[in-house]
Amino acid sequence: MAAIGQISTGMTVDRTLSSSNNIGVSLSPLRKTLIGAGGSSSLSLRQYSLSVRSIKINENNQKTKVYAENGAFDLGMLDSSVDSYKLADSRRSSDLKRKTKIVCTIGPSSSSREMIWKLAEAGMNVARLNMSHGDHASHQITIDLVKEYNSMFVDKAIAIMLDTKGPEVRSGDVPQPIFLKEGQEFNFTIKRGVSLKDTVSVNYDDFVNDVEVGDILLVDGGMMSLAVKSKTSDLVKCVVIDGGELQSRRHLNVRGKSATLPSITDKDWEDIKFGVDNQVDFYAVSFVKDAKVVHELKNYLKSCGADISVIVKIESADSIKNLPSIISACDGAMVARGDLGAELPIEEVPLLQEEIIRRCRSIHKPVIVATNMLESMINHPTPTRAEVSDIAIAVREGADAIMLSGETAHGKFPLKAVNVMHTVALRTEASLPVRTSATRTTAYKGHMGQMFAFHASIMANTLSTPVIVFTRTGSMAVLLSHYRPSSTIFAFTNQRRTMQRLALYQGVMPIYMEFSDDAEDTYARSLKLLQDEDMLKKGQHVTLVQSGAQPIWREESTHLIQVRKIKIG
């Protein structure tokens, strides 16, 4: 059993917050002293190691000073991207765990037991079931395999996300692909079974009523486009703007409009019931138009006693119009850029992605960036440079997770795609500045949990320590994730459901462990587990966070931050 040496009890609170804290840090040169007599900032952080001595956290402005032998310098002095990068690089050298999570869509290329295991080991955090494809029997096999994998580990968890098909408008079946040419006249009819060289069916009876003369129809996510010239009671007459190859069952969008179909269809309700029976962790609900849809689903889940989080897919003009209320009602969001870029001008998508991420982060909701992230790797073993940049941008903007669709579902190189996403995310995270800025992310003064998560993140960043939190519901781990400490958040929980749900949150490594009535015993067992798995080393410091009323601590609500040094007994 590891012996634990406590060096400082930080903020110990019983219903009220203590504000006086002095801890400390000094810099020891590895090669030669680069700080002048006046504490000049000509400092190369690659050449210094940190040893704990004394840090002062000013609760008024949250600025932190690091004290060296010849003076002090403010971390805020490191304003250039190069200096910030050096700081981040040096701080993360001993913490190489990826923080941005990876969602993998399971399909023919990845549904075997062997592939699910390999994807999990390569970096998959969430397995997505796309209910637009496959049947309940095939998805049941995937669910059982993921649960089998989860049962084998206490420190690895793969969450299960069921993605509903939603109200899609699609073209009908065609025996052979139809080649559309620019300027050609082409028609869509609500009559079933029509497949001619200039006319095909659509699966939506109100299609004629929904479109107007002058509307732009986008086919297959914008691969082809047509302008509506006229319409009859059962026919929409168009002229081709951008041609291409029209195959069976291609998705149709009207730019700037959403279909009047219900957001949750009869098929979706059957799939949702299937998810309840199998206790999936998340629903990703397609084409959410307003908050009413979210409330309807949540009320249904409550009536079933189902503890399943609702992720809304932002992919329509209506969802953007009602974005604030939708984000407020849901448990998380997905930026579904394919249909979003079809219904709205494509140049708006990057700006909308940034805005959706910002809104979700501001209210502690996880956010996933999806669609076309490594599209070329469906058929090729290496990504385009633009795809690599796309991943990096999503990571830098603060997405909790990034998603692979066809790349892992039916692509030729599913494992390589996951590996690329893993390495790009990891490298990008290492370049991010280590900073918890009060002007960027502040805690509500009336919310004790947020205040403690905020200060714990500052302490962990300043001391370059991992964070350990004990939680049953996952709420404190979620708050810590919101403030983005630079090191890993080890979230110990005695609830398997909580463990799996936390698999989606940025920076959180959920670990299952039974809690004892003795707090010190629980601390010691958690640290020993991390040491045994080489996640902590002798002499390393950790920031321990406890918040709320739990039997492990005491009956009344208690909040505590501690910094402890690990020793081998």
Question: Considering only CA atoms, which of 346, 412, 337, 348 is closest in space to residue 373?
Answer: 337
Contact (CB, 8 A) for 525 and 552:
no
CB 315 within 8 A of CB 338: yes
CA dihedral in degrees (28, 31, 35, 36; nearest 10)?
120
Q: Is 440 tagged catalytic?
A: no
Mind giving me the DSSP string for 152-201? T-SS---EEEEE---S--BB---SS-EEE-TT-EEEEESSTT-B-SSEEE
- Our answer to whether residue 371 is catalytic in this structure is yes
Q: Please, where are the H alpha helices in 406-474?
A: 406-409, 414-431, 448-463
Is 128 one of the catalytic residues?
yes
For residue 121, the one-letter residue type is E
With residue 496 as reference, give the H or E element that holds it: helix 496-501
β-pairing verdict for 541-550 and 467-470: parallel
Q: Of 128, 298, 337, 501, which residue is the catalytic one?
A: 128
Of these residues, 250, 313, 337, 361, which one is catalytic? 313
Alpha-carbon distance of 302 to 295, in angstroms, equals 10
Cβ 568 vs Cβ 3: under 8 Å: yes
Instruction: Starting at the earlier edge strand, list the strands of the sheet with 64-68.
Output: 22-29, 48-57, 64-68, 71-74
Q: Which residues contact 155 (CB under 8 A, 6 or more apart)?
A: 509, 511, 512, 529, 533
Residue 435 appears among annotated catalytic residues: no
Q: Which of 97, 118, 170, 427 is catalytic?
A: 170
- The one catalytic residue in 371, 441, 493, 498 is 371
List the catalytic residues. Answer: 128, 170, 313, 371
